Amino acid sequence: MEQIIIGIHAKLTKDGEKDIDLLVHSYYIGRPSPCVVITDWSTRSDIGGSIDGLDQIFDDEVAKHPEYSVKGRVNLVAITNPESPTTAIQATCGQLPSVSPFKFLDQGREIQPRVWVDLWAARYGEDGDNDVYFDLIAKQGTLSGDDFELIGRWKENCLKPPDHGSWKTGTPKAYDVWMQAKAELPKCPEEDGVADFLRDWSERTFAAGEKKKTDEVLRYRFGLSRSTTLLHFISGGRYPILDSNVELAMTRLGSPLDICGYLHCFCPLFSKIASACAVSGTHGLRKLDNALLMYGSDKSFPTSI
């Protein structure tokens, strides 16, 4: 087991001014360049070039805020196992500040992170699709064409009736592209190829029906939600799934995120929420995913928080 510093988190304070939340996070585990700077959990910027270490980047960012003091600085650490490289991001952990940047809510009141993840994950229910999920995750590296079709059915909620016969071309279920995955059997890309992989699959289109007046075929993009689902399974769960409910859940936790920030921001945030909730490993991270999905889909929240 090896411990690698992947980020530095701190509060910058100044009398009479609002505190600034600063996170410097490496883009690839074990390499400080390139990295991402996240200020107050919304502003993101990429740092590249010749970088000796995260300390250098952190000091440079602090220098941009004269007269601010650094409070509560902590290192975020990844615990890696050379014999099981796909667990590197899943095991990401570190000492978190005593005041969490996230708002873990239930019925309008803030609750402890561990209570939050148990509560919201339980609302997913035991009769969901977790058995199929864990079977597919266990096949990482050996997924067959039929397995890729099953991933598509899982994602499109077409595992069992009633799916109204929608698992076919010409529906909004992205059948055509899932069949491409079934034929191509995509493999997990190297870290420096993940962005290209997501771009390729996100931009693929499928026939989703016809316009009523013109009979023109409607074509939709596969999109980032589906392409991250594909990446999630071929990586054995290393990369989290980004869907609309999870994106909304991140907003409700106080960390709004646009889709284009998946690699730069969502993955580190997902790891930090996992650490706050004290969950890790395949089952723990699936529990967090279920909690985020239910949290994002709950209709009792106001439209803006």
What mean pLDDT is predicted for residues 229-243?
A: 93
Confidence of residue 136 (pLDDT cuts 50, 70, 90): very high
pLDDT of residue 296: 83
- Give the span between the Cα atoms of 177 and 204, in whole angstroms: 7
Residue range 82-119, pLDDT digits in tens: 554 433 333 233 333 334 567 888 888 888 888 999 99
45 has a pLDDT exceeding 80: no
- Farthest CA pair distance, the chain: 65
So where are the chain's domains?
Answer: 2-97, 120-297
CB 73, CB 10: distance < 8 Å: yes
Q: DSSP state, 266?
A: I
Residue range 250-305, pLDDT digits in tens: 667 766 555 557 887 788 888 889 988 999 999 999 999 999 988 888 877 664 44
pLDDT of residue 232: 96
Q: Write the single-letter amino acid at 264.
A: H
Dihedral over Cα of 44, 48, 50, 53: its sign:
positive
Residue range 48-75, pLDDT digits in tens: 555 567 788 888 889 999 999 998 888 7
- Give the span between the Cα atoms of 234 and 239, in whole angstroms: 9
Contacts of 202-207 with CB under 8 Å at 24 or more apart are 202/226, 202/227, 204/177, 204/180, 205/176, 205/177, 206/169, 206/174, 206/175, 206/176, 206/177, 207/169, 207/170, 207/176
pLDDT of residue 81: 53
What mean pLDDT is predicted for residues 13-28?
A: 81
What mean pLDDT is predicted for residues 135-156?
A: 95
What mean pLDDT is predicted for residues 12-17?
A: 91
More confident residue, 148 or 48: 148
156 has a pLDDT exceeding 50: yes
pLDDT of residue 219: 92
- Give the span between the Cα atoms of 105 and 38, in whole angstroms: 23
143 has a pLDDT exceeding 90: yes
Cα 261 to chain centroid distance, Å, stands at 10
Across 88-99, b (16+ Cβ under 10 Å) vs e yields bbbbbbbebeee
Cβ atoms within 10 A of the Cβ of 227, count?
A: 24
For residue 63, which of 7, 12, 6, 8 has the smallest C-alpha distance? Answer: 12
Tokens representing 276 are 């706050």
- Give the span between the Cα atoms of 277 and 271, in whole angstroms: 10
Confidence of residue 133 (pLDDT cuts 50, 70, 90): very high
pLDDT of residue 88: 36
Q: Does pTM surpass 0.75?
A: no
Confidence of residue 10 (pLDDT cuts 50, 70, 90): confident
Q: Which residues are 4's β-sheet partners? A: 78
Across 50-68, b (16+ Cβ under 10 Å) vs e yields ebeebeebbeebbeebeeb
What mean pLDDT is predicted for residues 11-38?
A: 75
3-state secondary structure of 230: helix
pLDDT of residue 216: 85
Residue range 169-221, pLDDT digits in tens: 999 999 999 999 999 999 999 988 888 899 899 999 999 888 877 778 899 99
For residue 85, which of 236, 186, 197 has the smallest C-alpha distance? Answer: 236
**DSSP codes, 107-124:** TTEE--HHHHHHHHHHTT
